Amino acid sequence: MTLNLAIKHNNMFVVFCIALNIILVSGSSLSDQVHQTPADINKKPEETAEITCSHSIESYNRILWYKQLKNKELQFLGYMLSTADNPEPGLGVKVKGSANKDQNCTLIIEGLSLNSSAVYFCACDTGSEAYFGKGTKLTVLETGINITAPTVKVLRPSCNEYRNQKDNTTKKTIVCVASGFYPDHVTVQWKDNKGPKTSGVATDSAALRGDNGFYTITSRLRVPGTEWFKPGSNFTCTVSFYNGTHTEDFAKSIRGEDGNAMTRGKYLKRTQIAKLSYGVLIVKSCIYGVFVVFLVWKLQSSSRKQR
């Protein structure tokens, strides 16, 4: 999808009120020809970060750079026109390289601070149309908090999950929780025996930060009961975490339930029934014992009277 941009040659600051997800959902093949690297960067305060952008689009020779603010708006950082750099003054950034086809254009962010943490985008532009890269997430690490990988848990569905009364089908929700990680460079994916799962997946839009500075993110996979109770069914949640040098995968799996097998719920139910039956049997035995004692006592009393 193309975005119409009204950009003047000497503009100092441009804010686009366009949500990030709208920018990235592009069905155009030209957007696939814009390449931005790396996808993730972790840096310490006062260090320098570099992000590279290139494209393979004929006749395009301008690359724009943006910083996504916390309110999801985009701040214009500058542009490269062919080999001429035009960074916005006062933002602590430089632009170098070339915006021509198959050349590299680099955004340099100097003197990093905590406020530099954001997602940065490049866009290949002709003056009327622009095609965006996939973005680079930059985190400036806070002092006293170490990079920490997530702990991943997968929770089984509730036994009392919703049952559709119309077609008598059960929906089961499997929950994946990744917690205790820093920074929040994570993605969550699901798969089953057949491969990746996208249908029925709901993942938090952003990781939630706790008072201790570490993050938690939750993802939910909703599957039909026919899949959950299918013998041999297996569901895996994979959390990918960027640790500053490379991306690590942390996966946890959970097996579905065999509808004909002895599940925990069925076991508990049968155990309770057995306990109840055993208790009733004990009570009946006690009553029978009392009756026998009474009968013996009665016979003995009758015998004494006859004597």
pLDDT, greater one: 158 or 215:
215
What superfamily would CATH give domain 151-255? Immunoglobulins (2.60.40.10)
User: Per-residue DSSP letters for 256-270?
Assistant: ---TTS--HHHHHHH
The set of residues, in sequence order, having a beta carbon less than 8 Å from that of 269 and lying 6+ positions away, is: none
Confidence of residue 22 (pLDDT cuts 50, 70, 90): very low
User: Per-residue DSSP letters for 103-151?
Assistant: --EEEEE-S--GGG-EEEEEEEE-SSEEEE---EEEEEPPTT---BPPE
Residue 293 has pLDDT above 80, yes or no: no
30-39, 48-57, 155-164: which is most confident: 48-57
Q: Specify the pLDDT at position 25.
A: 36
- The answer, yes or no, to whether the previous bond of 196 is cis (omega within 30 of 0) is no
Whole-number average pLDDT of the chain: 84
Task: Provide the greatest CA pair distance for the chain.
Answer: 132
| 3-140: CATH architecture | Sandwich (2.60)
Q: Mean pLDDT, to the nearest integer, of 267-296?
A: 76
Q: Which two tokens stand for residue 140?
A: 């400036």
Residue 110: exposure state from Cβ atoms within 10 A (0-12, 13-18, ≥19) = middle
**Distance (Å, whole) CA 128 – CA 257:** 56
Note if the pTM is more than 0.75.
Answer: no
Q: Specify the pLDDT at position 264.
A: 57
**Distance (Å, whole) CA 54 – CA 122:** 9
Instruction: Indicate the pairing of strand 74-81 with strand 62-68.
Output: antiparallel
